[in-house]
Structure 1
Amino acid sequence: MKAIVYDRYGPPDVLQLRDVAKPIPKDDEILIKVYAATAAAGDWRLRKADPFLSRLFNGLWKPKKIKILGFELAGVVESTGSGVTRFKPGDAVYAACGIGFGAYAEYKCLPENASVALKPTNMTFEEAAAVPVGAYTALQFLRKGNVQRGKRVLVYGASGSVGTYAVQLAKHFGAEVTGVCSTSNVELVRSLGADRVIDYTKENFADAGVPYDIIFDTVGKSPFEACVERLTPNGFYLRAVHLSPSALVRGLWVNFTSGKKVIGGTTKENAEDLQYLKELIEAGKLRSVIDRIYPLEQAAEAHRYVEQGHKKGNVVLTVHQAFR
């Protein structure tokens, strides 16, 4: 089968289209014919070994465990292992691949109990592939912040993958939502349901003096002290991007000395959240935002664009169409 492989860390050009062995599903696995995947921040960071500590996981001098990137996908089940009961050949599914990555390929095997669910019926494969990581990250962090009706939520980085879902989900839960983004994305964020949109190139959200029950930083660029100051006495400062050591220490201090909470950490992949998101999507409560679509063989170009940090929502790679 065809796949995008990288044998060394570096710029986008290390991504190469090659022939590799087609995987064979184990007894508890499904073999998915991949129709679409995404070029996400986690992919280019692993490709560059950024942060450097990722080398401890994937190989100090060159990638060893993961040579095929791609963290989320949508496709069709081609075959199943003898013990599989949840899926059958022909099922359209979407999934998060977990720490094994591997979606930049024509086929991918996943355990049936992994973060896999039937694809929303009202989405294309490209739209569905852009859902798993961004949407369940937004969902799980908002739950950590006890989002509910009437709460004031500020989403920092509201036009990115996690941010576009965070705006929609916070509105679904009944919150009053403010989105922070650049000038070119104001109308997009407003169309997602934000009650107010702040253009950070023209206005500092902290200057308004508005207290928020939740400030959700989806991109890791919000000013720490200003965010903590703008929280209500029992508010939550959520950071979907890992906290730096200094921010971690400051966050622990805030948690210890006040009723405010600074929460970072990782998300937990699970099929239950994908099923819940599927129901919201089919009810018209949630949609994916796609900036650009590239064929798989142009994965390097997709990475080059995503790494600039200005994408709207998601960048998708088509796989099945490229090799049909």
Structure 2
Amino acid sequence: MKAIVQDTYGSSDVLELRDIEKPEPGPGEVLIAVRAAAVDAGVWHLMSGRPYLLRLMGFGLRAPKVPVRGREVAGRVEAVGGGVTAFHPGDEVFGICEGSFAEYASARQDKLAHKPTGLPLEEAAALPISGLTALQALRDVGRVRPGQRVLVIGAAGGVGTFAVQLAKAYGAHVTGVCSTTKTELVRSLGADEVIDYTREEFADGVRRYDLILDTAGNRTLAHLRRALTPRGTLVIVGGEGGGNWLGGIDRVLRAALLNPFVRHGLKGIFASERQADLEVLKRFVEDGSLAPAIQSTCALDGAAGAVEQLHRGEARGKILIMP
């Protein structure tokens, strides 16, 4: 089968389209004929090996332990391993695996769910990681409530597009922050207000928000806190600063250290890959509250360019890789 493979860490030049052996599903695993895979921020980090902390966490010190890139996936079940009872050949599924930039991928059954009714199979690939991150950041960490004023920074990105819609579904008044060319997209997602950060400052000392989700990662904690209500909560979702060793994790650590000494809630999130929450996303899609924002699709040989486009901050919603 064809797949996007890397032998060493580096820029997108290390990604190569190759013929490799088709995987076999092990016990508790499902073999998926991939219809689409989505590009999330983690793909760039695993490709580049940065921050270096990732390597120490078991992803491979000198080279990636898993050579095939891609984790978000949607497709049809081709075969099942021993002990798999929830899925059968022919089922349409979406979820998280290792190596989705390929014609076939093997995934654990507890990281998959059946495709939402009415959603094209390829679009379901956009849901898993970005959708789970937005859901858990709002519901579990931010504890969003009806009537709250919620600010989503990076509202046109993969996590941000889901966060705007989910915050609305939970009854919040939502303001999205993005650049000029992305304002119409954010409005179309249901944002009550949109701030173009190239023309307007959201932390102006006048507007205050009960909950801020920062998916952009390029503003200081002090700057963000200026836009919070006295008891407001800031949730840091990723980030690209902080140097080669810690990356955006450094802001999460600083927030944790500062949190006990201020009235604001300063928190970070590391999303959990829970099947139960894939089912929650599925229900939101099926009741019309949530829809993936798809910017574009490309073939496997366009994967390297898609990863670079996302890393440069040019993506509006999700980019899909179609084997």
Give the letter for the 1:312 counterpart. Answer: R
Gaps spanning 5+ residues in structure 2: where? Answer: 240-246
Q: Which moved more, 1:178-187 or 1:49-58?
A: 49-58
Contact 1:254 1:260 in 2 (8 A): no
Q: 2:249 and 2:307 mapped to 1: Cα distance?
A: 27
CA contact (8 A) 1:254 1:261 kept: no
User: Aligned residue for 1:127?
Assistant: 123
Q: Does residue 268 of structure 1 match 2:275?
A: no
Which residue matches 1:19?
Answer: 19
> Who is 2:305 aligned against?
301
State how far apart, in whole Å, the 1-side matches of 2:248 and 2:70 are: 25
CA contact (8 A) 2:235 2:269 kept: no
What is the number of residues matched between the two proteins? 314
Q: Is 1:138 matched with 2:134?
A: yes
Is contact 2:179-2:196 (8 Å) kept? yes
Structure 1 gap segments, 5+ residues each: 320-324
Whether the aligned pair in 1 keeps the contact of 2:217 and 2:248 (CA below 8 Å) is no
* Aligned residue number for residue 49 of structure 1: 49
Determine the structure 1 residue equivalent to 2:243: none
1:175 equivalent in alignment to 2:172: yes
Deviation at 1:38, TM superposition (A): 1.4
TM-score normalised to structure 1 length:
0.92
Structure 2 match to 1:238: 235
1:67 alignment counterpart? 67
Runs of 4+ in 1 over 4 A off after TM superposition: 242-246
On the 8 A contact 1:72/1:130 being kept in 2, the answer is yes
Indicate the larger mover: 249-258 or 139-148. Answer: 249-258
Whole-Å separation in 2 of the counterparts to 1:30 and 1:248: 35
Q: How many Å separate the matches in 2 of 1:276 and 1:87?
A: 18
Q: Which residue of 2 aligns with 1:229?
A: 226
Question: Which one is further off, 22-31 or 70-79?
Answer: 22-31
Residue number in structure 2 paired with 1:165: 162
Q: Distance in 2 between matches of 1:26 and 1:311?
A: 35
Q: TM-score, normalised by structure 2?
A: 0.93
Maintained 8 Å contact 1:156/1:222: no
Going from structure 1 to structure 2, the CA distance change for 1:246 and 1:91 (only over 3 Å counts) comes to: closer
Q: CA deviation at 1:265?
A: 3.2
Which stretch has the larger CA shift, 222-231 or 248-257? 248-257
1:286 to 283, 287, 290: 290
- 2: CA distance, partners of 1:198 / 1:159: 12
SS in 2 for 1:168: helix
Question: CA contact under 8 A between 1:213 and 1:235: conserved in structure 2?
Answer: yes
CA contact (8 A) 1:290 1:312 kept: yes
Structure 2 match to 1:322: none
CA contact (8 A) 2:237 2:269 kept: yes
SS in 1 for 2:204: helix
Aligned counterpart for 1:105 among listed residues 99, 102, 105: 102
Deviations 1:48-103 (CA, angstroms, capped at 9, x unpaired): 1121232333333322x120110100000111123211111110000112xxx211
| One-letter amino acid matched to 2:51 | P
Give the aligned partner of residue 2 of structure 1. Answer: 2
Whether 2:207 is the aligned partner of 1:210: answer yes
**Once superposed, what is the RMSD of the aligned Cα atoms?**
1.6
Answer yes or no: is the 8 Å Cα contact 1:38–1:70 preserved in 2.
yes
Residue in 1 that maps onto 2:36: 36
Equivalent of residue 257 in structure 1, options 256, 261, 265: 261
User: What is aligned with 1:82?
Assistant: 82
Matched, 1:153 2:154: no
Q: Residues of 2 paired with 1:217 and 1:163: CA distance?
A: 9
Change (3 A) 1:273 1:245: closer
Structure 1 residues 215, 90: CA separation in 2 closer, same or farther (over 3 Å shift)? same
